[in-house]
Amino acid sequence: MTKRRQHIPLSMVHPEFRAMSGQIEDFTRDAPPLTNASLSELRNRDLPFRRPLVDVVPVEQRLISDEAQDHHTSIYTINAKAGQNRPAILHMHGGGFVAGKASDALGMLQQLALDLDSVIVTVDYRLAPEARWKDSIEDNYAALKWLYSNAEALGVDARRIAVMGDSAGGGHAALLAIMARDRGEVPLVHQCLIYPMLDDRSGSTRQLPYHVGGLIWTADNNRFGWEAFLGQVPGTDNVPKQAVPARLDDFSDLPPAFIGVGTLDLFVDEGISYAQRMNQAGVTAELILVPGVFHGFDVIAPNAVVSQWFYRAMIQAFKRAFGITNDMMLD
């Protein structure tokens, strides 16, 4: 029997989000459970918070091939122009490993490319459960190698490449940073992990306080996403370490990280732990804890003061990594 979830006290919610917290709590409670049968509807649903595209930043869709897997992956290049020497970001979208697509984030990424004068490549990696963790990780790595190999044609400085993702995309970005370190083919200067999905044990074998993960992305959703991704029950000792960033033993020589997460987010503890373990291994990890906000808060309310502050902190971390010295101070 499912236990009735307690209400999150308004005192724990950031003041800018208190007026909508009841609606979000109702939406989370009334949403149909995430199952294989409901995936099609979820994947076809229009996102209400998608930003419109702008004409001034070019976007081009391409297919790249991964000969090792005999597979073609769709990517989008944003703000690419030969003859430039811009930093670049490889981006991976969210969606719990089971949903989402690269085109969902194009408007947001156009703005990010403008703010950093950068090139961005975003990947339509294969989704679970149709594809498992090895497939989607290799899709992202193929896109990273393509970006690095085509840096000159894209107007990219190959010495200034970062990876980035939100939610499951943040988990993918962490996995990609690990793979890039281990394979030694593409140097990375930064990893930007926005409320990243890092640990299969959260909400399965590791229970969390009632107020953590009560809004938007829940423990039930998390268990489903990880099981689909792994192809097995999450949280056990049999889970392959190379599929789960938080199960990594050696954090040395990873690229510096920016990790941002809200205190009501299901992923708050694993984000804190990941940053601590990086710093203990001698890898700089900047951790931003946003008080009283939930998963995806900045997408739901991008104009909120706290969302804008969070965005500026992320921008400054990128600028430090890319060696951009103008406008270094936060407002």
Widest CA span in the chain: 62
CB atoms within 10 A of CB 288: 17
- Angstrom distances, CA of residue 291 to CA of 14, 107, 268: 6, 27, 11
From the candidates 265, 269, 298, 307, give the one annotated as an active-site residue.
265
Tokens of residue 136, six digits: 């989607």
For residues 221 and 96, the answer to whether their CB atoms sit within 8 Å is yes
Q: Which residues of 125-253 form beta strands (DSSP E)?
A: 156-166, 190-194
Helices 133-149/168-183 angle, 10° precision? 60
DSSP-based three-state secondary structure for 178: helix
d(CA 107, CA 85): 23
Burial of 296 (0-12, 13-18, 19+ CB in 10 A): buried
From the candidates 166, 211, 295, 307, give the one annotated as an active-site residue.
295
d(CA 197, CA 179): 17
d(CA 147, CA 156): 8
From the candidates 21, 118, 136, 167, give the one annotated as an active-site residue.
167
Query: Could you confirm whether 265 is annotated as catalytic?
Result: yes
Query: Could you confirm whether 93 is annotated as catalytic?
Result: no
Query: Could you confirm whether 104 is annotated as catalytic?
Result: no
Helix, strand, coil in percent for the chain, rounding step 5: 40, 20, 45
Tokens of residue 73, six digits: 């992956």
Which residues are catalytic, by number? 167, 265, 295
